[in-house]
Amino acid sequence: MLSLPTARNKVAANAGFLAAILIHNLTYPLSAAAGVWPALFYGFYAAIFGVATWALTGHRLQRIFVGSAGLAVFIAGILNSYVPSNGTALAVYLTSMVYHLGMIVVLARYTFGARTVMTDVLLSATSLYLVIGSGFAAVLAFIEWCAPGSFVASSGAAIDWQQMVYFSYVTLTTLGYGDITPVGFYAQSFVNFEAIGGTLYTVILLSRLVGLHASRQ
């Protein structure tokens, strides 16, 4: 069992990471701003998963994988912000998917590998849910890049990355406002997968936490 100082460190690390994810999601419009803001945004984006990985796991390969993916995201993001092109946009989507996949593995191992229900596990589970949502945003944006018109906004406006982040979380939570509609085959398939996955995640997580709590009785 974790000693008290270690337990406190784990709670602090998970709480800090959760706060960083929320800040990242709220400040994403800065990636399209002028001046130094895109560099600051992508620097923060590239750092948070890497720092969290070093704090939450001692697995060397996972640290290297997430850290390398974070560096790739930073380079792709800077290029796409200051010298935008179809190629740099594609690089952002691909590196973001890999980056999120690495973090999902780290958080899933931490959350579902826990043997007791503690505050750090609850924070990790919440972070995992949010990372899944932002990861799917990259996947959906990649689909739109490959097949323009796969998603249609009721307003008629073009679909950008920020709208994909919004749409991804709306889908993950099964709110379904209807202001963005997937019309392409792959778009509909992945949106369905995300909606089902979001529902199953809450069910599986709840079952896991209840099982851990019951085992302590």
pLDDT digits (tens, 9 = 90+) for 5-60: 466 788 999 999 999 999 998 888 888 888 999 999 999 999 999 999 998 988 89
Domain borders along the chain are 10-215
pLDDT, averaged across the chain: 90
**Which DSSP string do the residues of 63-100 spell out, in sequence order?**
HHHHHHHHHHHHHHHHHHHHS--HHHHHHHHHHHHHHH
* Residues 120-164: tens digit of each pLDDT: 999 999 999 999 999 999 999 999 999 999 999 988 888 888 889
pLDDT score of 215: 67
pLDDT for residue 2 is more than 60: no
Number of Cβ within a 10 Å radius of residue 105: 16
User: For the domain 10-215, what is the CATH code?
Assistant: 1.10.287.70
Secondary structure (3-state) at 128: helix
The share of the chain scoring above pLDDT 90, in percent, equals: 70
Alpha helices in the chain, H assignment, sequence order: 4-26, 37-56, 60-82, 86-112, 119-146, 161-172, 185-215
Helix (H, G, I), strand (E, B) or coil at 123: helix
